[in-house]
Amino acid sequence: MQDLKILQKTASLHEARWWEPEPNAKAHCYLCPRHCHIGEGQAGFCFIRVNEGGKLYSLGYASPAALQIDPIEKKPLSHFLPGTRVFSMGTAGCNMGCFFCQNWDISKSRADQVRSNHVPPEDVVALAIRNGCPSIAFTYNEPTIWGEYVIDICHAAHEAGLNTVMVTNDYITREAFHDIYDHIDAANVDLKAFTEKFYGRITLTHLQPVLDTLKWLKNETSVWFEITNLIIPDLNDSPEETRLLADWVLENLGPNVPLHFTAFHPDFKLREKPRTPPETLHAARAIAREAGLHYVYEGNIHSEGAHTLCPSCNTVLIRRSWHDVLSNRLKDGCCPKCGLAIPGRWTNPHAQPDSHEKDRARATAASKYSHLNF
């Protein structure tokens, strides 16, 4: 594995899940719909699932390349513990090849991983508690590809009373779906476009597996999830495509799944594209609301479209500026004016960490991670 300069060297490799051996020492990875068939000494498309000696290993396990504290609204989640902070983390690699990737420096860069930190699952939880975060988000790159690490963090997080959040492209197989999502409290899913042409040419994947996963989330889990559509000029910004997307969400997921339209900025391999005009987001939001969706947001711009409105009486329930919550008028999860129950997770469903857990978290953070600045 000398040529796989993806992650820093660790004392031992963590054997992956969701794979099977094949002839000639190959490994078939069935974690995502790519179904990579990986030869000895090679990595899959995602960079971090590698074959050594005919076995598949995850180089992402306990090796985050990015650790940060964010507002939950940045994920974006508007109906999940608004105004709280979330301990956010990501590794290297991705199972999509998006030309517009906004986090390409870790999702596409092997060199960045030399600077990863060794942080076992229980220490992730300690860092979250130490920094006053009621939730942990798996984000920045695609967390599906380090699902083994995600699951172990989730076990430790729930024991300590913390929530877990996936920020994901939802490119995952049926075989792995429940293994991961049965441990997740909330998710934001990037529905990158609503045409197979876009997915095939711009992300190097396919649309249908993402739509399938969204339906599994709705019908087979208790995960609170929201959807983000990054609108890119001339690629997925037509009113017709927006209406098709909104109609599909309404028909298959219902009117109460929040939908975020966010503005693109030039990056990675799409630097020649202009920024998304605010008017495009306004138009998309109007189309989705007209289609019957109750909670439609605009992101990456300053806009009235960041607020949460009551779909019954149009009262402003949560007022936001960018990722900041300016006011929250919800009363026990309901509109204070007409009494309508607003779908979401407005209070923490888990017991909070006790004083002993907080003390242990402070001691762990001080002894092992004093070099990290958040």
Burial class from Cβ neighbours inside 10 Å (0-12, 13-18, 19+) for residue 122 reads middle
CA gap 287, 299 in Å, rounded: 16
Residues 61, 211: Cα–Cα separation, whole Å:
28
Nearest to 25 by CA among 57, 51, 60, 63: 51
Predicted pLDDT at 111? 36
For the record, the structure tokens of 4 come out as 């796989």
> What pLDDT, in 10s, does the model give residues 268-316?
666 788 899 999 999 999 999 999 999 999 999 999 999 999 999 999 9
Count the helix, strand and coil residues of the chain and give each as a percent rounded to the nearest 5. Answer: 30, 20, 45
> Model-level pTM?
0.93
Examine the pLDDT at 7 and tell me if it is beyond 80.
Answer: no
Query: How far is CA 252 from its chain centroid?
Result: 21
- 48-81 per-position pLDDT tens digit: 999 999 999 999 999 998 899 999 999 999 999 9
Q: Which residues pair with 21 in a beta bridge?
A: 27
> Tell me, what's the pLDDT at 113?
47
Give the C-alpha distances (Å, rounded to integers) separating 163 from 8, 184, 365. Answer: 29, 8, 19
Q: Which two tokens stand for residue 322?
A: 């960018």
- CA 124/CA 87 separation, integer angstroms: 9
Radius of gyration of the chain (CA): 21
How many helices (H) does the chain have, and how many strands (E)? 9, 17
pLDDT at res. 2: 39
pLDDT in tens, 339-365: 999 999 999 888 788 888 899 999 998
- Residue 94 near residue 180 (C-beta atoms within 8 A): no
Percent of the chain with pLDDT over 90: 81
Q: Which amino acid is at 25?
A: A
- Asked if 304 and 296 touch (Cβ cutoff 8 Å), the reply is no
Q: Helix 239-253 crosses helix 208-220 at what angle (to 10 degrees)?
A: 30
- Provide the pLDDT for residue 103: 67
Please provide the DSSP assignment of 201-268 as one string.
IIISS-SHHHHHHHHHHHHH---EEEEEEEE-TTTS--HHHHHHHHHHHHHHH-TTS-EEEEE----T
Amino acid identity, residue 82? Answer: P
- List, for residues 115-170, the tens digit of each pLDDT value: 678 999 999 999 999 999 999 999 999 999 999 999 999 999 999 999 999 999 99
Give the helix/strand (H/E) hosting 359: helix 355-368
**For 94-126, how does the pLDDT look when each residue is reduced to its tens digit (9 = 90+)?**
999 888 777 655 655 553 444 678 999 999 999
Q: Six-digit token pair at 374?
A: 């958040």
Instruction: Give the pLDDT mean for 181-190.
Output: 98
Q: How far apart are CA 228 and CA 298, in angstroms?
A: 9
- Residue 30 and residue 20 in contact, taking contact as beta carbons nearer than 8 Å: yes
The first and second tokens of residue 46, run together, are: 């995602």
Model pLDDT, residue 105: 59
pLDDT digits (tens, 9 = 90+) for 193-238: 999 999 999 999 999 999 999 999 999 999 999 999 999 999 999 9
Give, rounded to a whole angstrom, the gap between the first and last alpha carbons of the chain.
33
In this structure, what DSSP letter does residue 276 have? P
Q: Per-residue pLDDT for 176 more than 80?
A: yes
Task: Judge whether residue 5 has pLDDT over 70.
Answer: no
Of 287, 316, 282, 284, whose CA–CA distance to 302 is shortest? 282
- Given a contact cutoff of 8 angstroms between Cβ atoms, the answer to whether 41 and 26 are in contact is no
* pLDDT recorded at residue 114: 45
pLDDT of 256: 98
Residue 211 tokens, joined: 């739509």
As a whole number of angstroms, the distance between CA 153 and CA 147 comes to 10
For 167, the 3-state DSSP assignment is strand
